[in-house]
């Protein structure tokens, strides 16, 4: 498969029958434990307006709605949104590009950017644009919960004796040729290029895009920096908390 390089090609990939079937099954899992814990801790009150960015078929949108939030799900894939509407009648879903969100500034108290979705934006300039767009639509002091891929986990797989993980990702996917590059091919995402970086680089990007850091990782001890999927809680900076 040709590696998609822009949003229209990514939209086609995620509207494929294979992707839709996978995401419908995945949506049955609902909020992951880490997501649920962070939402319960930081998204208060439960009546607030929440933007679910890269909502797919509604894995996170529906549970947030069930908790009482006023939730809007947005995804680049028309197929995903059509399926989400069919699966979850009454929930608000829109087709939209995170680099040009179809919402007014200061519209949401909270935003969720789950499932490592920020990592599919290529090149890096689009990744930063998406982060700035989410900041734009957040109200002053608004909170964003976001997950991003952690290259320290992948490189550390050798030390954790997970040789198969290292071989599959770096050798079978040809990523040994991209060892020192941020974007690597991800076979689990239908051949898309996915961004992998370190927590230090993530924090630098978030601050550059106008966020302050409320929380890094799931745990409170140093091992959090080598977690597979890094979770961050960010606040729209420049405003009083």
Share of the chain above pLDDT 90, in %: 55
Q: What is the mean pLDDT of the chain?
A: 85
Report the pLDDT value the prediction gives residue 152, as an integer from 0 to 100: 81
User: What order of strands is seen across the sheet that includes strand 108-113?
Assistant: 92-95, 70-75, 49-53, 108-113, 138-149, 229-236, 211-216
Q: Which residue has the higher pLDDT, 6 or 201?
A: 201
- 240 confidence band (pLDDT: 50, 70, 90): very low
> pLDDT by residue (tens digit) across 191-237?
677 787 889 999 999 999 999 999 998 777 777 788 878 999 999 98
- Inside any domain, residue 184: no
Report the pLDDT value the prediction gives residue 1, as an integer from 0 to 100: 27
Q: Which residue has the higher pLDDT, 48 or 182?
A: 48
CB atoms under 10 Å from CB of 55, counted, come to: 33
3-class DSSP assignment, residue 18: helix
- Inside any domain, residue 126: yes
CA–CA distance from 127 to each of 108, 112, 194, 200, 234 (Å)?
20, 15, 11, 16, 16
CA–CA distance from 57 to each of 26, 52, 108, 124 (Å)?
9, 11, 21, 26
- Inside any domain, residue 155: no
- 30 confidence band (pLDDT: 50, 70, 90): very high
- Inside any domain, residue 55: yes
Q: Tokens at residue 81, please?
A: 């949104």
- Inside any domain, residue 65: yes
For residue 212, give the H/E element and its range: strand 211-216
Q: Tokens at residue 40, please?
A: 């319960």
CATH number at residue 34: 3.40.50.150
Instruction: Please give the residue range of the domain that contains residue 78.
Output: 7-150+197-236
How many structural domains is the chain composed of?
Answer: 1
């Amino acid at each position: 498969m040709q590696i998609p390089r822009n949003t229209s090609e990514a939209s086609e990939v995620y509207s494929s029958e294979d992707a839709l079937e996978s995401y419908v099954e995945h949506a049955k899992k609902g909020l992951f434990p880490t997501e649920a814990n962070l939402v319960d801790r930081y998204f208060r009150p439960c009546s607030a307006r929440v933007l679910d960015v890269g909502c797919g078929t509604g894995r996170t949108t529906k549970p947030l709605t069930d908790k009482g939030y006023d939730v809007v799900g947005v995804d680049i894939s028309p197929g995903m949104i059509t399926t989400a509407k069919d699966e979850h009648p009454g929930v608000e879903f829109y087709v939209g590009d995170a680099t040009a969100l179809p919402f007014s500034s200061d519209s949401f108290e909270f935003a969720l950017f789950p499932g490592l979705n920020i990592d599919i934006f290529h090149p890096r300039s689009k990744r930063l644009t998406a982060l700035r767009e989410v900041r734009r639509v957040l109200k002053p002091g608004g909170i964003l919960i976001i997950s991003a891929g952690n290259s320290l986990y992948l490189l550390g797989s050798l030390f954790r004796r997970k040789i198969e993980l290292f071989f599959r990702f770096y050798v079978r996917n040809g990523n040994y040729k991209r060892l020192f590059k941020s974007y690597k091919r991800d076979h689990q995402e239908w051949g898309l290029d996915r961004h992998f970086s370190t927590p230090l680089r993530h924090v630098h990007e978030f601050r550059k895009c106008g966020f302050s850091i409320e929380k890094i990782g799931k745990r409170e001890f140093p091992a959090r920096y080598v977690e597979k999927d890094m979770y961050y809680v960010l606040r729209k900076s420049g405003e009083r908390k």
